[in-house]
């Protein structure tokens, strides 16, 4: 990794994001994007004080859905951080991005406008280009002239982790020297909140929004919706070395699996999660004892959290008690298809700084979870992190684990 970028509910760049993560700040607050008074859930983790005019000329911004704006902003930061625009063969730079939903706000608004009209089909000419998920990777490549492999992965909440693994593999296969990768989402809309409420998936702790996301707490009642983007620049080592790029860490493995169980519910046995972590460790060529920190999927749902912890204990055995485990979703909320992007950034920064960000909002131990495990509750912990694993799992049973290691020349 030679560049990082982020726009999140905790901050609009990497430095702000990491500062808030390490201090255990909650990004949850009452929804401001629309009147949520009639919804069961009336809070979320929005990007605070966001104005597209701060980043784009007005006409340009209007041609992009919010999820694409976030993608361009985060990737711009990562590209600048990596010094990628000078002296690089742009034919060999790919953009492989992730988004689980794409332009939900655009789709919703156009349908609302049609329903309010007289039945005559009047749609914005940018309706389709703004809505489709691949507009994110398309806009990144168009802005920067990157002509390498370009596509978007869509696998629900595993989307951006799948994009990172795909980018890693395209570089390993020699199909690109560099890839801009990560993911974005912007689903805090009437349709997004209403849809997840109908699934009974989100927290309804409206009287205490800041502590609504409480992974591994006995009283967790669902996830908190988040938005934003996380971007990484993955680069072939020899290519990075030849141009004198700084290197944050290295990606050493990625695993994928499927629960093959249910369209929304996780397999309670955790077998698919066991398999994905085993696959990631095998691909990385390391043993469970080599891992120091797992940034867990940890969404704050009653079923999902327990299944993941059981899987970790099965894969890591006694080594599980030496790990730090934490869910940064306790602070950022759940970015759906963008989760893997910002959580990869968090995992890399944990390696860089030797600090494990906490799982905040822990009040009551869950008797179903092994209290001997180190969940990094409420306060960040200092420790040397040589290897970090980032887990993301999506509706449909999509499981992805990515493994990062401290760089040693």
Q: How far apart are CA 119 and CA 312, in angstroms?
A: 54
State the catalytic residue, choosing from 45, 111, 157, 262.
157
CB neighbours of 118 closer than 8 A, spacing ≥ 6?
A: none
Could you give the 3-state DSSP secondary structure of residue 29? Answer: strand
Residue 336 is classified by DSSP as G
Residue of 45, 239, 297, 398 marked catalytic: 297
Query: Taking the CA atoms of the chain, what radius of gyration do you get in angstroms?
Result: 20
Cβ 377 vs Cβ 229: under 8 Å: no
From the number of C-beta atoms within 10 Å of its C-beta (0-12, 13-18, 19+), residue 86 rates as exposed
**Residue 231: exposure state from Cβ atoms within 10 A (0-12, 13-18, ≥19):** buried
Instruction: Establish whether 297 is a catalytic residue.
Output: yes
Cβ-count burial 117-141 (b if 16+ within 10 Å, e if not): eeeeeeeeebbebbbbbbbbbbbbb
- Burial of 114 from C-beta contacts in 10 A (0-12 / 13-18 / 19+): middle
Where does residue 173 rank: exposed (0-12), middle (13-18), buried (19+ CB within 10 A)? exposed
In the residue annotation, 111 being an active-site residue is answered as: no
Is 239 in the active site? no
Q: Give the DSSP H/E element, type plus range, for residue 394.
A: strand 387-394
How far is residue 127's CA from residue 130's CA, in Å, rounded to a whole number?
A: 5
Distance CA 39, CA 275 (A): 38
- State the catalytic residue, choosing from 45, 262, 334, 353: 334
Q: Are residues 4 and 234 in contact, defined by beta-carbon separation less than 8 angstroms?
A: no
Q: Which residues are catalytic?
A: 157, 297, 334
């Amino acid at each position: 990794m030679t560049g990082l970028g982020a726009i999140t509910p905790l901050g609009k760049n990497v430095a702000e994001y990491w500062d808030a993560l390490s201090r255990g700040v909650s990004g949850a607050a009452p929804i401001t994007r629309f009147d949520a008074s009639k919804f069961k859930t009336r809070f979320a983790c929005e990007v605070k004080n966001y104005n597209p005019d701060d980043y784009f000329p007005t006409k340009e911004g209007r041609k992009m859905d919010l999820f694409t704006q976030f993608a361009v902003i985060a990737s711009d930061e990562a590209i600048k951080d990596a010094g990628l625009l000078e002296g690089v063969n742009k034919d060999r730079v790919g953009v492989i991005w992730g988004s689980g939903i794409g332009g939900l706000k655009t789709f919703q608004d156009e349908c609302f406008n049609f329903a309010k009209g007289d039945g005559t089909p009047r749609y914005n000419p940018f309706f389709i280009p703004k809505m489709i998920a691949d507009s994110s990777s398309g806009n990144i490549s168009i802005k920067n002239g990157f002509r390498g492999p370009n596509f978007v992965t869509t696998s629900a909440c595993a989307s951006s982790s799948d994009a990172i693994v795909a980018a890693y593999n395209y570089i390993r296969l020699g199909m690109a020297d560099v890839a801009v990768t990560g993911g974005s989402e912007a689903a805090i809309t009437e349709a997004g909140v209403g849809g997840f409420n109908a699934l009974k998936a989100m927290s309804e702790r409206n009287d205490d929004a800041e502590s609504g996301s409480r992974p591994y707490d006995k009283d967790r009642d669902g996830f908190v919706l988040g938005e934003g983007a996380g971007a990484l620049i993955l680069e072939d080592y020899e290519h990075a070395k030849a141009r004198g790029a700084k290197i944050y860490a290295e990606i050493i493995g990625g695993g994928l699996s499927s629960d093959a169980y249910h369209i929304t519910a996780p397999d309670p046995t955790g077998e698919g999660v066991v398999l994905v972590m085993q696959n990631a460790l095998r691909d990385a060529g390391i043993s469970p004892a080599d891992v120091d920190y797992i940034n867990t999927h940890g969404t704050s749902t009653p079923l999902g959290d327990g299944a993941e912890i059981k899987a970790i204990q099965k894969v890591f055995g006694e080594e599980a008690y030496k790990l730090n485990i934490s869910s940064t979703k306790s602070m950022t909320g759940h970015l759906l298809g963008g989760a893997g992007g910002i959580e990869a950034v968090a995992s890399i920064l944990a390696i860089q700084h030797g600090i494990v960000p906490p799982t905040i909002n822990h009040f009551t131990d869950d008797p179903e979870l092994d209290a001997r495990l180190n969940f990094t509750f409420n306060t960040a912990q200092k420790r040397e992190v040589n290897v970090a694993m980032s887990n993301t799992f999506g509706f449909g049973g999509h499981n992805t684990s990515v493994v990062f290691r401290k760089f040693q020349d």
